[in-house]
Chains A and B, each alone.
Chain A
């Protein structure tokens, strides 16, 4: 029913992946792209694993051989036959016809005939040993189960809910009493050595025991080959060490009896609730998967019901349907049961219980780790109003089933089951954030962010990248660190849970009381019916039902059973039934009397309830206040956001200021250069003036000389009297003055030009300095001073 049929079906059905799961149409294309990569990877890892298994078989299991396995298998064949389940196929509601039968019962012709009247029995192999080549791995992992068992035996506190690490477990190797397994031969001589070592974590012995452990780890990270996966997982979870012979069959038989004839005990109301939920969920578990046909669904039902019986503190929790379904695809029914037991009881202890405490704790822990690792991303999500737990919650609870593409789910589970802790859960979630964080920070609203992350996660086809990022990128996320954080956050969760259960009880009690009082007064019988319809609607805390509740629940069960039993005529011994009924009837009557007394008590209780109402109002107000606080916190966060925005603006202004400052300095430098130029020119001008003065002096000298000459000449020309000479002299004097004027006007002109320039600089200075807030006049004054200097 398992692997074979898939391989067949997936070749026929192109809309499903290699595991037989439906592909979302939007992913079909990408899946096709990756299908070849997967095939290649699969081929590689098959070879690697084969070599590896051969190697460890040689080194550690000289006496175990395939022949022996076959022999054992043969021997078990008869056992397997005994462990088959005769199954009814009469449609959806097969509860009544389902029963477990062992060989002797089956040969009972009366029974057989009875069953086959309306049902077709058929056989399924329900248990199979894993191949011996995996024995060494199984052995290694079994130690940790043993260790865990010891731990639980020693102290009943389950708070340190994790499997001991492999190292720890290995060192306990000697303590394992794994009977007649040939590995014992090799481990025997180590026994004393380990025993003498007091510390649980031993650095030497694991290497000594399992020198290939590291190699195995890297192989696991590379993925477990498909055809080995089911068995390797069982080895990891330590199914062999967990299994108790016939335990599963007994649970199934118990359930079949109870489900059919409704034996009553205090908890049967709870079982009924789980049964109902399981029925609701079975058709919604991998709908359409070829392996989950009628038989597959029956197996799923049995595994889930058996688990609920095995561990009533968990019972049935949505999500387990997917886990059990997934395991059933990889292994026979009983093996799937024990693997599920390992996963839920150990790996996820406290996760799926009624209060779901550990899953809530893990969310707080994850958020803290996220803030540490991706502060920017978390800031952005905060800004959008997205809580990390909205997204990571479903990831953790489903162990990524339905969240990632199947290949990736399997790869993550490979590592998770190998490690024996929930570290991989965190690492995978962090890896997804690492891969998709950059895209997330570009989103503009909460809806877009969540939609984007969901769809990116759903198309994480590159499973190798995901697993490697997870395992290599977050080495600091260790079990020890997580335990520390869990310890830190657990109290907060416990407070809320406590609060909730109180509230739940209050609601339940008040409602139950009111309506019960009412109906009891009108018609004592209706009490039972009333209970019937509130039962499902009531709040969790079934564990701590008030005595009243469980009391009436008993009543209810009794009546129910009476009704049903009277209808069932196929019961083996009617006489016995009648006697039993009579006894029950007496008890019922007695209880009825008790109930009437109770009713009176209830009335007083009701009065008390009214008083309590006050308290509830108070707590409501407290909660309102709390809400206000959270709102204020929100506002605070907003304010902080605004602050950062303001800071950014401020920074930008500052930058601008710096730019202006620079500009001003440049302008000043310019001005200085100009001042220098002016100075030089001034000097030149002065020189020119000086030379002019000299020339003038020369001219004066020349004039005086000329006059002297003239006088001299006039003395002569008195005789000659020639006016033309005079004319020549006066023109030369005019010439001189125009030259003088030219120089002056040049100097003035340059000065004017320069002045124009400085005013321009001043203007630009002014316009910028308004931004800076620097007094524009000061720089203006400087230029004015310059002018004055000029």
Chain B
């Protein structure tokens, strides 16, 4: 699955019949998932979302205040579609007080760190713990090492990420919002790991 082939069609990707979580059985062919991005400030959460949703990289992205929302639908090979409702949160520590508002009820949490910053890796671990305690029990978690294009500045070895993710039952991937490397793969892999409602 190359990046380009998996780029969702932005117009036809919309779901024909949205399935409301609250009422009625979820449509197993058209999933809707709430996804939240967590991680230290400046690790590239907003850039990852913008790359995924708009296909752009803006080296001078805006600081996220509070949180911001974007949604994107992808089609999988088995012809199911997954509509991601993405909450991109603010990274500064004090905004962590507001994070539960956004991760509560989320089906997926993407915890991002910057491979050039050990601090951000520590912060990622904090988020994983917080989610294990307070997130939905069946939440799908992904650990993402971003800015993989900055190999020469790498300070967090790949193996550290792999190990930590494995220990915590997470999916791990290194991405670059700048080069678009692994961005679509990240979301596709998440989609594959979603618990499917029994098809009727």
A234 to B18, CA, bound (A): 50
A637 to B21, CA, bound (A): 12
A394 to B46, CA, bound (A): 15
Q: Which residues of B contact A450 (CB under 8 A)?
A: 69, 71, 85
Proximity string of chain B (58-70) to chain A, C-beta cutoff 8 Å, 1 when within and 0 when not: 1011111111111
Does chain B have a CB within 8 A of A103?
no
Proximity string of chain A (519-557) to chain B, C-beta cutoff 8 Å, 1 when within and 0 when not: 000000000000001111111100000000000000000
Is A277's CB under 8 angstroms from B134's CB? no
Does chain B have a CB within 8 A of A446?
yes
Contact A397-B94, Cβ < 8 Å, known A389-B101, A390-B101, A537-B122: no
Q: Which of B19, B63, B66 interacts with A393 by CB under 8 Å?
A: B66
Proximity string of chain A (329-359) to chain B, C-beta cutoff 8 Å, 1 when within and 0 when not: 0000000000000000000000011111001
Q: Count B-side interface residues using an 8 Å CB cutoff.
A: 51
Q: Which residues of A contact B70 (CB under 8 A)?
A: 451
Does chain B have a CB within 8 A of A62?
no
A689 to B126, CA, bound (A): 107
| Interface locus among B34-42, B168-176, B181-189 | B34-42
Contact A402-B62, Cβ < 8 Å, known A356-B98, A445-B18: yes
Q: Which of B66, B93, B126 interacts with A398 by CB under 8 Å?
A: B66
Is A280's CB under 8 angstroms from B119's CB? no
Is A445's CB under 8 angstroms from B102's CB? no
Is B105's CB under 8 angstroms from A620's CB? no
Q: Which residues of A contact B51 (CB under 8 A)?
A: none
Contact A398-B40, Cβ < 8 Å, known A390-B101, A447-B71, A533-B118: no
Q: Which residues of B contact A535 (CB under 8 A)?
A: 119
Does chain B have a CB within 8 A of A288?
yes
Does chain B have a CB within 8 A of A500?
yes
Does chain B have a CB within 8 A of A318?
yes
Contact A281-B63, Cβ < 8 Å, known A356-B97, A445-B32, A536-B119: yes
Which residue among A444, A445, A448, A534 has the maximum number of chain B CB atoms within 10 Å of its CB? A445
Q: Which residues of A contact B60 (CB under 8 A)?
A: 283-284, 287-288
Does chain B have a CB within 8 A of A756?
no
Does chain A have a CB within 8 A of B123?
yes
A539 to B94, CA, bound (A): 8
* Smallest CB gap from A283: residue in B: B60
Which residue among B70, B93, B129 has the maximum number of chain A CB atoms within 10 Å of its CB? B93
Q: Which residues of B contact A641 (CB under 8 A)?
A: 22-23
* Smallest CB gap from A317: residue in B: B94
A359 to B58, CA, bound (A): 30
Is A454's CB under 8 angstroms from B18's CB? no
How far is the CB of A43 from the nearest CB of chain B, in Å? 32
A391 to B95, CA, bound (A): 15
Q: Which residues of A contact B85 (CB under 8 A)?
A: 446-447, 450
| Interface locus among A135-143, A379-387, A779-787 | A379-387
Q: Which residues of A contact B97 (CB under 8 A)?
A: 355-356, 360, 497, 500, 540
* Smallest CB gap from B61: residue in A: A284
Q: Which residues of A contact B1 (CB under 8 A)?
A: none
How far is the CB of A144 from the nearest CB of chain B, in Å? 27
How far is the CB of A402 from the nearest CB of chain B, in Å? 7
How far is the CB of A644 from the nearest CB of chain B, in Å? 11
Q: Which of B42, B61, B102, B126 interacts with A537 by CB under 8 Å?
A: B126
Is B40's CB under 8 angstroms from A536's CB? yes
Proximity string of chain B (14-40) to chain A, C-beta cutoff 8 Å, 1 when within and 0 when not: 000011111100000000101000001
How far is the CB of B113 from the nearest CB of chain A, in Å? 10
Contact A318-B122, Cβ < 8 Å, known A283-B60, A390-B101, A447-B83: no
Is B67's CB under 8 angstroms from A277's CB? no
How far is the CB of B6 from the nearest CB of chain A, in Å? 20
Q: Which of A277, A283, A391, A503 interacts with B41 by CB under 8 Å?
A: A277
Contact A318-B98, Cβ < 8 Å, known A390-B67, A445-B18, A638-B22: no
Q: Which residues of B contact A446 (CB under 8 A)?
A: 21, 34, 85
Q: Which residues of A contact B91 (CB under 8 A)?
A: 318
Which residues of A in the span 618-666 have a Cβ within 8 Å of any Cβ on B?
620, 623, 627, 630, 634, 637-638, 641-642, 645
Q: Which residues of B contact A287 (CB under 8 A)?
A: 58, 60-62
Contact A540-B93, Cβ < 8 Å, known A277-B41, A533-B122, A638-B22: yes
Q: Which residues of A contact B21 (CB under 8 A)?
A: 385, 446
Which residues of A in the span 390-410 have a Cβ within 8 Å of any Cβ on B?
390-391, 393-394, 397-398, 401-402
Proximity string of chain A (448-460) to chain B, C-beta cutoff 8 Å, 1 when within and 0 when not: 1011001000000
Q: Which residues of A contact B66 (CB under 8 A)?
A: 319, 393-394, 397-398
Q: Which residues of A contact B19 (CB under 8 A)?
A: 445
* Smallest CB gap from A352: residue in B: B94
How far is the CB of A316 from the nearest CB of chain B, in Å? 8
How far is the CB of B74 from the nearest CB of chain A, in Å? 14
Is A451's CB under 8 angstroms from B122's CB? no
Q: Which of B23, B34, B62, B68 interacts with A642 by CB under 8 Å?
A: B23
Q: Which residues of A contact B23 (CB under 8 A)?
A: 383, 638, 641-642, 645
Is B119's CB under 8 angstroms from A448's CB? no
Which residues of A in the span 476-534 have a Cβ within 8 Å of any Cβ on B?
497, 500, 503, 507, 533-534
Q: Which residues of A contact B122 (CB under 8 A)?
A: 533-534, 536-538
How far is the CB of B145 from the nearest CB of chain A, in Å? 15
Does chain B have a CB within 8 A of A322?
yes
* Smallest CB gap from A443: residue in B: B18
Q: Which residues of B contact A454 (CB under 8 A)?
A: 69
* Smallest CB gap from B119: residue in A: A536
Does chain B have a CB within 8 A of A427?
no
A642 to B70, CA, bound (A): 30
Q: Which of A284, A398, A533, A630 interacts with B119 by CB under 8 Å?
A: A533
Is B65's CB under 8 angstroms from A539's CB? no
Q: Which residues of B contact A284 (CB under 8 A)?
A: 60-63
Is A318's CB under 8 angstroms from B95's CB? yes
Q: Which residues of A contact B105 (CB under 8 A)?
A: 385
A447 to B85, CA, bound (A): 6
A356 to B18, CA, bound (A): 36
Contact A398-B69, Cβ < 8 Å, known A287-B60, A390-B87, A507-B129: no
Is A384's CB under 8 angstroms from B71's CB? no
Proximity string of chain A (716-759) to chain B, C-beta cutoff 8 Å, 1 when within and 0 when not: 00000000000000000000000000000000000000000000
Which residue among B65, B70, B102 has the maximum number of chain A CB atoms within 10 Å of its CB? B65
Q: Which residues of A contact B98 (CB under 8 A)?
A: 356, 359-360, 393
A536 to B96, CA, bound (A): 13
Is A384's CB under 8 angstroms from B20's CB? yes
* Smallest CB gap from B84: residue in A: A447
How far is the CB of A552 from the nearest CB of chain B, in Å? 16
How far is the CB of B29 from the nearest CB of chain A, in Å? 15
Does chain B have a CB within 8 A of A133?
no
How far is the CB of A440 from the nearest CB of chain B, in Å? 14
A422 to B40, CA, bound (A): 30
| Extra pairs beyond A318-B64, A387-B101, A447-B69 (18, CB < 8 Å) | A284-B62, A284-B63, A287-B60, A318-B92, A321-B63, A383-B20, A383-B23, A384-B20, A393-B66, A393-B98, A394-B65, A398-B66, A445-B18, A447-B71, A503-B133, A533-B119, A537-B121, A641-B23
The contact sample of 26 A-B pairs, CB cut-off 8 A, is A284-B60, A284-B62, A284-B63, A318-B41, A318-B63, A318-B95, A322-B65, A356-B95, A383-B20, A384-B22, A390-B69, A393-B67, A397-B65, A398-B66, A533-B118, A536-B40, A536-B120, A536-B123, A537-B40, A537-B123, A537-B126, A539-B126, A623-B133, A627-B134, A630-B104, A641-B23
* B residues neighboring A (CB under 8 Å): 18-23, 32, 34, 40-42, 58, 60-71, 83, 85, 87, 90-98, 101-102, 104-105, 118-123, 125-126, 129, 133-134
* A residues neighboring B (CB under 8 Å): 277, 280-281, 283-285, 287-288, 317-319, 321-322, 352-356, 359-360, 383-385, 387, 389-391, 393-394, 397-398, 401-402, 444-448, 450-451, 454, 497, 500, 503, 507, 533-540, 620, 623, 627, 630, 634, 637-638, 641-642, 645
